[in-house]
Amino acid sequence: MTAAGADLTLRHPVERFRLENGLRVVLAPDRSVPVVAVTVSYDVGMRNEPQGRTGFAHLFEHLMFQGSANVPKMEHARLVQAAGGTFNGSTHQDYTNYYEALPAEALERALFLEADRMAAPAITEENLRNQIDVVKEEIRVNVLNRPYGAFPWLQLPAIAFESFANTHDGYGSFVDLESSTVDDAADFSHRYYAPGNAVLCLGGDLDVAEAERLVRRWFGPITAREVPPTPPTGEPSPTTVRSGVVEDPLAPAPAVALGWRVPDPVGDLDFYLGTVLLAELLSEGDASRLERRLVHDDQLAIAQSSYVGLFGDPFDVRDATLLTTQVHHPASVPTEKVITAVHEEIGRIAEDGVGADELARVQARTEAQLLRQADSVLGRTLAFANAELIHGRAELAGELAARLAAVTPEQVRTAARGLDPGTVAVLELRATGGRR
């Protein structure tokens, strides 16, 4: 698998340049299929939101689909789909992105559309109120009226972290959303959607010289603006156990989530990769440690999973972040019994280590996932954009498979030792729907 990971980087070379207005541009040509992907990633996410404006990064993502100076509402979607393409956007902890995948001949159309909304999104009272209602309904459907809707991704951070950036609800409170103004949106756009705060990544069937010409034509005229500093989201490591309880009247069974602070994904990447593989070793597949112990052997759990990063992608986040283990268990099983079993399994890895064969199995699975993602022009382009924005090196996306293959059993053992029972954050969910 090491060779495959290295070969991925070689087969998809990366070129870059920067416009005078500060826009960073990454080109990843691949002439094998007549498809292009265009992604614009802005260095602003949920952790950038100020107090009193929770959910604003996601709300603004919605606003970016409401038209721009030269593109009426709904026209962006119509123009992309008329060319046979697809489009979307997403908000994360540390960035917000927008993307299209289209036939190669439609590249300029996508660049025009993205440049137009970078320069002048349609921020109006009507659009803002309409999208506040849309986001509120999304929260009702995805969080408030769904079993485990906020568990643990919106609820565990408040226990595991200290700062507002890391603890607040990134989906947003209704009070904060409803009090948002057009001036707030205009200020957010001016501050964070400046060209110098973005990475434009083009992948697929590109002629590099022609792609650069088109980028300069459409994005070059956008006025440069001051770029805000990246917020310091890292925190001191915890020294005690922190715990909390939530009640869910819709949940059919109780659950518990355990979160541990992990190494800096950017500054300590090699140590961090050991943690990524540890999460896979703990929970992925029937042969994983926690699946065997909790579900099959001791029958303490209905389901379990472990992952790094609140959004499930360990490679698109800055410090600070968590390895989370969540377990759904029968009401007859005490929560403390589940927690003890999890700590014991992690302790075995910390004490005895992991065999080369077991690690190789986990590495093969993880590398295969990365390589499958890279098979898609859009998936590869998004990965390059994330790596450029978060790590400053788009090439890292093509190197991760090889770097994961090089992780040693000792690195995984060290990662397990970092999951100290004395510094864990514990969130217990009680299923209260059956209460009379």
* pLDDT at site 373: 85
Do residues 42 and 159 share a domain?
yes
Do residues 203 and 257 share a domain?
no
- CA neighbor of 382 nearest in space, from 107, 88, 99, 46: 99
284 in any annotated domain: yes
Asked if residue 47 has pLDDT above 70, the reply is yes
Residue with tokens 């590249």: 107
Tell me, what CATH number does 349's domain have? 3.30.830.10
* pLDDT at site 11: 59
7 in any annotated domain: no
DSSP string, 102-124: EEGGGHHHHHHHHHHHHH-B---
235 in any annotated domain: no
Q: How far apart are CA 162 and CA 152, in angstroms?
A: 16
- One-letter amino acid at 170 equals G
Length of the chain: 436
CB proximity list for 299: less than 8 A, separation 6 or greater: none
Q: How far apart are CA 202 and CA 107, in angstroms?
A: 9
- Cβ–Cβ under 8 Å, residues 2 and 346: no
Tokens describing residue 133:
């209602």
Do residues 374 and 407 share a domain?
yes
Asked if residue 9 has pLDDT above 70, the reply is no
Confidence class for position 10, pLDDT limits 50, 70, 90: very low
Angle CA(371)–CA(90)–CA(399) in degrees, nearest 5?
Answer: 25
Q: Is 51 exposed, middle or buried (0-12, 13-18, 19+ CB in 10 A)?
A: exposed
Q: How far apart are CA 311 and CA 297, in angstroms?
A: 29
* Averaged pLDDT score across all residues of the chain: 94
Do residues 265 and 160 share a domain?
no
Confidence class for position 1, pLDDT limits 50, 70, 90: very low
Q: What is the extent of the structural domain holding 327?
A: 242-431
Do residues 181 and 246 share a domain?
no
Query: Last residue of a domain, which of 189, 220, 251?
Result: 220
- One-letter amino acid at 32 equals S
Tens digits of per-residue pLDDT, 90-139?
Answer: 999 999 999 999 999 999 999 999 999 999 999 999 999 999 999 999 99
Do residues 404 and 368 share a domain?
yes
Q: How far apart are CA 151 and CA 326, in angstroms?
A: 9
Residue 307 φ/ψ region, left for φ over 0, alpha for ψ in the -120 to 50 degree band, beta for the rest? beta
- One-letter amino acid at 178 equals E
- One-letter amino acid at 233 equals T
- Provide the number of structural domains found in the chain: 2
Confidence class for position 434, pLDDT limits 50, 70, 90: low
**Residue 322: helix, strand or coil by DSSP?**
strand
Q: What is the pTM of this model?
A: 0.94
Asked if residue 244 has pLDDT above 80, the reply is yes
Tens digits of per-residue pLDDT, 186-220?
Answer: 999 999 999 999 999 999 999 999 999 999 999 99
Do residues 276 and 400 share a domain?
yes
Do residues 211 and 74 share a domain?
yes
Asked if residue 295 has pLDDT above 50, the reply is yes
* pLDDT at site 372: 86
**Residue 216: helix, strand or coil by DSSP?**
helix
Asked if residue 323 has pLDDT above 50, the reply is yes
Do residues 142 and 200 share a domain?
yes
Tens digits of per-residue pLDDT, 252-293?
Answer: 999 999 999 999 999 999 999 999 999 999 999 888 999 999
What percentage of residues in the chain have a pLDDT greater than 90?
90
397 in any annotated domain: yes
φ and ψ at 51, to 5 degrees?
Answer: -60, 140
Q: How far apart are CA 297 and CA 154, in angstroms?
A: 31
Query: Last residue of a domain, which of 220, 255, 276?
Result: 220
